[in-house]
Each structure stands twice: as C-alpha cells, then as structure tokens.
Amino acid sequence: MTRVLLVDDQSLFREALAVLLSVHEDIEVVGEAGNGEEALRRAAELAPDVVLMDLRMPVLDGIAATRRLRAERPGARVIALTTFDDDADVFAALRAGAVGYLLKDVSSERLVEAVRAAARDESVLQPSVAAKVVAAFARLPDEPPPVTSPLSDRELDVVRLLAGGHSNREIAAALFLAEGTVKNHVTNVLGKLGARDRTQAALRARALGLLGP
C-alpha cells in the first residue's frame, strides 16, 4: 500500500485527486495540506510514501517545502504537480529533491502510474519537462565521463524511452518486455553510464549522443 499526501492550496483540486487515487486498492490517501508549512506538519504525523506537491502556494511554497521535506523525511518521495513548466520551476523542483514533475493536465492513468513509480524510487517526468532537462544538460560544456562498456541495442531502446520521461511499466509495454526485465536493463544502464539515477542517466545519454538527433 502506497501512502500519499496531497498538497495544494485549492481544496476542490485536492478533493478531486483524493477521489481519483482512492479507487485504486494499492494507494491510500492519508492526508491533505493547503500550503508547504502544513505539508511538513502533516508529513511528520502521517509518514507518507509519496507527496504530490503543488509549487505555488501561500505561507511556504512547494520548492521550499520539498527541500525541507527531503531533509526531514528522506524516505518520502515528492512529485511536483503543477500548472507551470517554465525552466525556473522545473530545475528548482528537481534541485530541491523532487523525483517527478507532472503538469495538472496529466491523464489520470499517468498520474497513478507516477505515484506507483515514485513509491518504487523511480523518477517520472512529464515528456515536455524531460526534454527541457535533457536540452539544458546538452548545453553544458563539460565532457561526460565515458561509458564503462557499450550499451546493447535493447539498453539503448530503454534509455531513449527513459529520457522521454516514461516509467518502467510504460517502457515494458512499449518494448513488449516484462517490467522486471526493464528494471534490470535500467540498472545496467545506470551502471554503464555512471549515473546515480534515471534523470542523470538521461542527461549523460544525451551528452554522449546516444539519444539520436
């Protein structure tokens, strides 16, 4: 069971999210908060596995709340869920420790899968956001470290989908593989690219020219 805390200053949106998520037997909405300060208090009380965090809120915004939450409760995984995808918000949220970044027009299916992926300690980025992150890294002048060994054709398929912001389950469906097989491929990709997480793997793959033009 994945325990979820909803953080948004719009009560109607929180209520709608709670209804959407609660129909899934493996997800439990354990609480709600209307601003970042309240989110920190509620997280301390409820110990959520995943926090869906709006970014622009009164009292304490979602960026600052994410940073403090990751320091105080490192086991909690934060997904930024917001209306905005400008570069400043995207990079600030990821630097603060968010493992995912989704826009509020995301489909219900993708949101549910993102919650499950975050609970599995995977990162999930909206495709448009993933493109921003990869493009920003591509502009950096530093040379990436060389791969320890070449990626196989299947690993290249996996890293290209991973760079598009897809979860393991979505990659498995696209490549007609078992989800466990995809997880193994992702682990191999991280090791070969010397990356600590999926986002860094996507960035290094782009810098190495592995994602195509």
Whether residues 59 and 162 share a domain: the answer is: no
Say how far apart CA 102 and CA 161 lie, in whole Å.
17
Whether residues 73 and 50 share a domain: the answer is: yes
Chain centroid, CA 203 distance in Å: 15
Whether residues 34 and 86 share a domain: the answer is: yes
Whether residues 101 and 37 share a domain: the answer is: yes
| Domain finish residue from 101, 125, 149 | 125
Would 212 be classed as within a structural domain?
A: no
Of the ranges 2-11, 124-133, 188-197, which one carries the lowest mean pLDDT score?
Answer: 124-133
Name every residue whose Cβ is closer than 8 Å to that of residue 30 and which is 6 or more positions away in sequence. 3, 4, 5, 46, 48
Sign of CA dihedral 50, 56, 62, 63: positive
Which carries the bigger pLDDT value, residue 52 or residue 123? 52
| Domain finish residue from 71, 94, 125 | 125
Whether residues 60 and 156 share a domain: the answer is: no
- pLDDT the model gives residue 203: 80
| Proportion of the chain above pLDDT 90, given as a percent | 48
| Domain finish residue from 125, 145, 174 | 125
Say how far apart CA 198 and CA 201 lie, in whole Å.
5
CB 53 within 8 A of CB 98: yes
Whether residues 121 and 164 share a domain: the answer is: no
If pLDDT is split at 50, 70 and 90, which confidence band does 68 have? very high
pTM: predicted TM-score of the whole model, two decimal places: 0.68
Give tens-digit pLDDT for 69-95. 988 998 899 999 988 877 778 888 888
Whether residues 9 and 111 share a domain: the answer is: yes
Whether residues 29 and 58 share a domain: the answer is: yes
For 12, the domain range is 2-125
Does position 31 have pLDDT exceeding 90, yes or no?
yes
Say how far apart CA 47 and CA 5 lie, in whole Å.
9
The enclosing domain of 54 has a CATH number of 3.40.50.2300
Rounded mean pLDDT of 204-209? Answer: 79
Would 131 be classed as within a structural domain?
A: no
